[in-house]
Amino acid sequence: MDESTRAGQVSRREVLKKGLVGAAGLTVLPAVLAACSSSAATAAAPSGNVSGNLTGTLKIGSNHSDPSEATGMTAINAAFAAATGLTPTMNTVDHNTFQDQINNYLLGTPDDAFTWFSGFRMRFFADKSLATNIDDVWSAVSSNFTSAFATAVTGNDSHIYGIPVDYYPWCVFYRKSLFSDKGYTVPSTWADFITLCKKMQTDGLTPIAFSDKDGWPAMGTFDILNLRLNGYDFHVGLMTGANKWTDPKVTAVFQQWAQLIPFYTSGFAGLTWQQACDTLVSKKAGLFFLGLFMTGEVATVDKTAVADIDFFPFPFLGNSYDAEAALDAPIDIWMLSAKSPSLTADLINAKAYMNFWAKGSTQVLMYKANNGFIPTANDADSSTYDVLTKKAVSIVSAAKKITQFMDRDTRPDFAGANGMQSFLLSFLGNPTQDLAALQASIQAFWDALPAYVVAPVPTPAPTAS
Amino acid sequence: MSAWAVAGQGTTHNRARRRLKRAGLHVFLIVLAFIFMWPLLYALYTSLRPYGEIVANPTGPFSLPATLNLDNYFSVWNAQNMLGFYWNTAVITIPAVILTLWISSMLAFTISKFSWRFNLLVLMIFTAGNLLPPQVIIVPLRLVYLHLPLPAPLSDNGLMYDQFTGLILIHTTFQTGFCTFVLSNYMKTLSKELIEAAQIDGAGIFTIYRRVVLPLCTPAIAALATLLSVWIYNDFFWALLLFKSGDKRPITAALNNLSGAFFTNPTQLAAVSVMAAVPTIVLYLILQRFFVTGLTLGATKS
């Protein structure tokens, strides 16, 4: 679907909903539109279609503070201005502060639209009425996304709260040259994986580069082992509190994990992921399980090494859940705030901006600025993708289920430094400890958290208009 | 030296011992100075090195340099709107310092030079306010800022929140207590006769304040101005919590812009930290004299 065909679309439901404004919209044709004043644009954009001349203002909050991402944002805003005549006012706050202050930000005077994450973190604010639903925009663009993305942006109330714009998968990374030098092959089963690790160990390598100083990297391994061993439904249930941490299935995850720990980098609790990544680059370590964003660090250390990086999905365990091929692939989204003082006036502009981000052509602009952001839209031009991205896309599209990473799938106070981060570190420090006691303390921690009603993951809202 | 000799203890043995002691003292002072300078020197050293080199080296940031250049400074300067952040700092710091000194000098004058029913109580309240950790009031303060309207020239969104005005006011509020305390102590040392003489000459209260007391307080005010500038310049807390807009941040809070989502380049961060520290260091070097006076102000009563 391109812009010109979309421009004339006004769905029946929206016409009815918007009453008089919609009635004006019925008469709008793309040719008329260009000549028309602001009222035509108002009428044409109930579902946020990007067309015509938008008037007024649009304030957007962005966490894209890294120089490459900021370049991407500038390009996208310029493209939006070219399409609509409206230049968004951008407020860029660095990623970590943006994340730390999101609650204050949304409760205060937020911008109209803002960058955020899908999954629990999105639903959390939707449930608190701090986000505006964009069902009408979604009904216009949903055909451009797979069902896994639709699930990721659906709130507990079955309304749509975000536009998925990029994602990155978690995989096992390695250096091709190291594998060919030593005659290693990519393992597909757990047994192969362990054999490979043992072989690397005898070759004097650290088989698996691992780090957990920041607390979150270990979560990735827990997620994937739980998905492989117990399946998507159990994992999501565990993250949302429907399943108990004392379940023997969780014990099995820890036991499976314990087999890997002897192959980890020594002293990993004090290492940052960058340091672990550097051992992969310098070929001191053989494998590294992390998100695709690790290529950024590789490029910083040694630009020539990027072409030598390859990856494979975490090995399968030979059970019924192999068919799910599930993995963590965190999705970044754009949302509309609720408390923005200017949102009422800017709503049409903000929805047009959401619609604009749902286009592959927009998302590719960000991808061009930073290869870590893989577009989510079906119509994104994949001819510009590099080898790693193409592979990531094939792995993610083969996945029947996608999770968002533990700290995005569960409540923040549970995933935080006092919660799972420290429980996982405690396990990693002493894998042979009394697992039942550890699991009981995790469950006790969950139970002691202040009540927050967590509904199970909803089915996507009907998207037909 | 001569004092020792006169006292009859100037034997060579004693002199050697004294020399040894002096050398020991100097070694101690040099070591101490080095420890104090260490973070700054280390930041300076790190900022001059390329990140790739640190990573490639097995001893990492502690390794000896192969390359030392200013690339990090140039890349940060070009990538970030550093001048804008310095300007933001100036817009906050300069009015806050002036306002604080103006208010607290008037308060101190009233408290120290006039005897009225509550002057001790008022002084106690201002001093007590000084003891309150600012973090305690952040939640209510934020709500107040979100609900208190502020008209147009002072605010571009009609609120105290996310405004330079709001930040200037909160700095003024928190610093006034300390300044009042120091200035009132200082003003108490001024002789009563001066003021009485001025009164006899027909000076009103404002004339006494402006023409007699303020000029006499110049050393104290200069010292306080130095201290305040450094304190407000170094503020990170208020700027982070009361600003929503990334481009309104002062230089200290803007340092955060360099922490990436997944990746932080420590050499660039070191470069921008050094850049952020330079104005305070320069200020200190120029106004050293006042700085020391400032720290001992109110410590003794003459």
Q: pLDDT value at position B260?
A: 63
Q: Which residues of B touch A61 (CB under 8 A)?
A: 244
A48 near A355, Cβ under 8 Å? yes
Read off the tokens for A149. 């993305």
At the second CATH level, the architecture of A170-328+412-448 is 3-Layer(aba) Sandwich (3.40)
Read off the tokens for B100. 């604080």
Q: Inter-chain contact B244–A63, Cβ cutoff 8 Å? A: no
| B152/B137 Cα distance (integer angstroms) | 26
**Cα dist from B90 to A18, A120, B234, whole Å:** 49, 41, 12
Q: pLDDT value at position A293?
A: 84
Nearest to A153 by CA among A122, A114, A124: A122
Mutation pick from A57, A71, A93 vs chain B, by most beta carbons of B within 10 Å, is A93
Residue type, B107: L
Beta bridge partners of A331: A167
Please determine, for residue B30, whether its predicted confidence score (pLDDT) is greater than 60: yes
Q: pLDDT value at position B15?
A: 87
Beta bridge partners of B149: B159
**Cα dist from B210 to A158, A220, A247, B96, whole Å:** 68, 67, 77, 20
| A184/A181 Cα distance (integer angstroms) | 8
Across A301-355, the runs of DSSP E, i.e. the strands, are 309-312, 327-328, 331-337
| A265/A290 Cα distance (integer angstroms) | 14
Q: pLDDT value at position A29?
A: 33
pLDDT-based confidence at residue B156 (cuts at 50, 70, 90): confident
Q: Which residues of B touch A293 (CB under 8 A)?
A: 261-263
> What is the least distance, in Å, from the CA of A437 to any CA of chain B?
34
Residue type, A308: D
> What is the least distance, in Å, from the CA of A12 to any CA of chain B?
38
One fold for A3-166+332-389 and A170-328+412-448: yes
Beta bridge partners of A208: A264, A287
Strand A89-92 and strand A59-62: the pairing is: parallel
Residue type, A209: A
Nearest to A164 by CA among A189, A139, A146: A146
B270 near B39, Cβ under 8 Å? no
Nearest to A60 by CA among B156, B278, B175, B246: B246
pLDDT-based confidence at residue B301 (cuts at 50, 70, 90): low
Which of the residue ranges A28-37, B31-40, B80-89 would you say has the lowest mean pLDDT? Answer: A28-37
| A222/A405 Cα distance (integer angstroms) | 10
A287 near A209, Cβ under 8 Å? yes
B142 near A104, Cβ under 8 Å? yes
Q: What is the mean pLDDT of chain B?
A: 85
- Chain CA centroid to CA A450, Å: 26
At the second CATH level, the architecture of B80-296 is Orthogonal Bundle (1.10)
Q: pLDDT value at position A124?
A: 86
Q: pLDDT value at position B259?
A: 67
Nearest to A216 by CA among A170, A259, A256: A170
Across B174-293, the runs of DSSP E, i.e. the strands, are none
Cβ atoms within 10 Å of B224's Cβ, excluding its own: 26
| A408/A258 Cα distance (integer angstroms) | 24
From A95, A109, A291, residue closest to B159, measured CB to CB: A109
Query: Which residues, including other chains, have CB under 8 Å from residue A89's CB and lie 6 or more apart?
Result: A57, A58, A59, A60, A111
Which of A420-434, B8-22, B76-90 is most confident? Answer: A420-434
| B265/A300 Cα distance (integer angstroms) | 9
| A61/A101 Cα distance (integer angstroms) | 12
- pLDDT (mean) for B180-205: 88
Strand A285-291 and strand A206-209: the pairing is: parallel
| A150/A131 Cα distance (integer angstroms) | 17
pLDDT-based confidence at residue B253 (cuts at 50, 70, 90): confident
- Please count the residues of chain B: 302
Using DSSP, state whether A175 is helix, strand or coil.
strand
| A310/B9 Cα distance (integer angstroms) | 80
Task: Please give the angle made by the CA atoms of B257, B260 and B265, to the nearest 5 degrees.
Answer: 95
Q: What are the start and end residues of each CATH 1.10.3720.10 domain in chain B? A: 80-296
| A152/A142 Cα distance (integer angstroms) | 12
A223 near A406, Cβ under 8 Å? yes
| CATH top-level class of A3-166+332-389 | alpha beta
A208 near A271, Cβ under 8 Å? no
| B213/B14 Cα distance (integer angstroms) | 52
Q: Inter-chain contact A95–B246, Cβ cutoff 8 Å? A: no
> What is the least distance, in Å, from the CA of A67 to any CA of chain B?
7
Q: pLDDT value at position A295?
A: 85
From B52, B159, B161, residue closest to A300, measured CB to CB: B52
Q: pLDDT value at position A51?
A: 63
- The DSSP 8-state label assigned to residue A242 in this structure reads S
From A101, A296, A301, residue closest to B55, measured CB to CB: A301
- The DSSP 8-state label assigned to residue A450 in this structure reads P
Q: Which residues of B touch A92 (CB under 8 A)?
A: 246-247
Task: Please give the angle made by the CA atoms of A103, A58 and A352, to the nearest 5 degrees.
Answer: 100
**Cα dist from A179 to A4, A21, A71, A280, whole Å:** 49, 63, 36, 12
| A95/A110 Cα distance (integer angstroms) | 16
The radius of gyration of chain A from alpha carbons, rounded to an integer in Å, stands at: 23
Q: Any alpha helices (H) in A245-342, and if so which ranges?
A: 248-258, 273-281, 294-301
Q: Which residues of A touch B240 (CB under 8 A)?
A: 97, 101
Using DSSP, state whether B263 is helix, strand or coil.
coil
Q: Search chain B and give the residue with CA nearest A277.
A: B55
A251 near A436, Cβ under 8 Å? yes
Q: What is the rounded end-to-end Cα distance, in angstroms, of chain A?
A: 17
Beta bridge partners of B176: none
pLDDT-based confidence at residue B299 (cuts at 50, 70, 90): low
Q: Inter-chain contact A95–B260, Cβ cutoff 8 Å? A: yes
> Which phi and psi (to 5°) does residue A207 adopt?
-60, -50
| A15/A118 Cα distance (integer angstroms) | 29
| B153/A150 Cα distance (integer angstroms) | 45
Nearest to A187 by CA among A256, A277, A286: A286
| B152/A188 Cα distance (integer angstroms) | 65
Read off the tokens for B253. 């809070």
Q: In chain A, where are the structural domains located?
A: 3-166+332-389, 170-328+412-448
Q: Inter-chain contact A291–B142, Cβ cutoff 8 Å? A: no
> What is the least distance, in Å, from the CA of A10 to any CA of chain B?
35
Q: pLDDT value at position A18?
A: 38
- The DSSP 8-state label assigned to residue A46 in this structure reads T
Task: Please give the angle made by the CA atoms of A136, A142 and A144, to the nearest 5 degrees.
Answer: 140
Cβ atoms within 10 Å of B119's Cβ, excluding its own: 15
Mutation pick from A104, A167, A216 vs chain B, by most beta carbons of B within 10 Å, is A104
Q: Inter-chain contact B261–A297, Cβ cutoff 8 Å? A: no
Q: Search chain B and give the residue with CA nearest A93.
A: B246
Question: Is the pTM higher than 0.80?
Answer: no
Number of helices followed by number of strands (H, E) in chain A: 24, 13
Give the residue ranges of chain A where pLDDT is below 50.
1-46, 454-465
Q: Inter-chain contact A291–B262, Cβ cutoff 8 Å? A: yes
Q: Inter-chain contact A96–B146, Cβ cutoff 8 Å? A: no
Q: pLDDT value at position A34?
A: 35
**Looking at beta carbons, which pairs linking B127-131 to residues 24 or more positions away fall under 8 Å?**
B127/B177, B127/B180, B127/B181, B128/B177, B129/B174, B129/B176, B129/B177, B130/B177, B130/B178, B130/B181
Q: pLDDT value at position B50?
A: 86
Using DSSP, state whether A132 is helix, strand or coil.
strand
Using DSSP, state whether A455 is helix, strand or coil.
coil
Tell me the pLDDT tens digit for each residue of B122-144. Answer: 888 888 877 888 888 888 898 89
Q: Quick one: B11 exposed, middle or buried, by C-beta within 10 A (0-12, 13-18, 19+)?
A: exposed
Q: Search chain A and give the residue with CA nearest B257.
A: A94
| A196/A442 Cα distance (integer angstroms) | 33
